[in-house]
Amino acid sequence: MSDNARTAHNIRLGIIVAVLVALGLGSFWVLEVVRRDGTNAQSERVPNKPDYYVEKFNYVKMAESGQPRFSITGDKMVHFPQDDSFEITMPVITGLDPAKPTMVLRSKRARIEDDNSKVHMYDDVNGNRAATSTSENMHLKTEYLLVLPDDDIAKTDKYAEVTMGSSFMTGTGMIINDAIKQLEFLHDFHGYYEPRPKDTGTAAQPVKK
């Protein structure tokens, strides 16, 4: 075999080997992608199983001043590690700020998420705020309430009933902003509001939309 023929033969062999290597690497890449997708899909299908639970608990959130802000108690609290959330049976949230009227929220169940910054309360939600010298007692009733304790806000997109002294209000969608003392109904507002005599403006005022 001449040198030119041998060189051409070697070039053809080199090309064939390169193609086979490329096909092999391509097949490996495809298999790796399929394997990763299968692993990710399998991990997404893994249920969010609890890793521990506590019964008859009492959680107290402290303010920066070192004073207690609010407490959460319940019959049972279950922790889910996948999203670091908690589910609570028969929760009770109580405001402990001495500068504000005591507010107590109850429901049949609740879910806490986002580093304890969101509390979703479900089923037969009831709230009671004690009367003070500047505000009347208030009672709240709804089927769902999102509580943002760090912002002093509670809201719902469901039907809600609020009683304040002799006033009675209902509507669909409601926001209570305790930071600015405002009660807001978003839709289908009905009711009667009777201002307190010599109202100082510190009590929550209803806003109709």
- Residues 10-44 have pLDDT tens digits of 555 555 545 444 445 455 444 454 455 555 554 45
Containing 151, the helix (H) or strand (E) segment is none
**3 state SS of 98:** coil
**What is the mean pLDDT of the segment spanning 196-207?**
55
Number of Cβ within a 10 Å radius of residue 17 = 10
- Residues 81-132 have pLDDT tens digits of 999 999 999 999 999 988 888 899 999 999 999 888 999 999 999 999 988 8
DSSP collapsed to 3 states, 82-93? CCCEEEEECCEE
What is the per-residue pLDDT for 53? 95
| CA dist., res. 99 & res. 184, Å (int) | 23
164 or 74, higher pLDDT:
74
What is the per-residue pLDDT for 199? 52
pLDDT-derived band at 133 (thresholds 50, 70, 90) equals confident
| CA dist., res. 207 & res. 158, Å (int) | 17
What is the per-residue pLDDT for 135? 77
CB 185 within 8 Å of CB 208: yes
Q: Is 36 left (phi over 0), alpha (psi -120 to 50) or beta?
A: alpha
Which of 112, 127, 117 has the alpha carbon at shortest distance from 176? 127
Q: Output phi, psi for 23, to 5 deg.
A: -65, -40
pLDDT-derived band at 178 (thresholds 50, 70, 90) equals confident
What is the per-residue pLDDT for 19? 47
| CA dist., res. 177 & res. 100, Å (int) | 13
- Residues 49-65 have pLDDT tens digits of 999 999 999 999 888 88
| CA dist., res. 104 & res. 111, Å (int) | 17
CATH number of 52-193: 2.60.450.10
The DSSP annotation for 103-144 comes to EEEE-SEEEEETTTTEEEEEEEEEEEE---SSS--EEEEEEE
137 or 195, higher pLDDT:
137
CB 79 within 8 Å of CB 53: yes
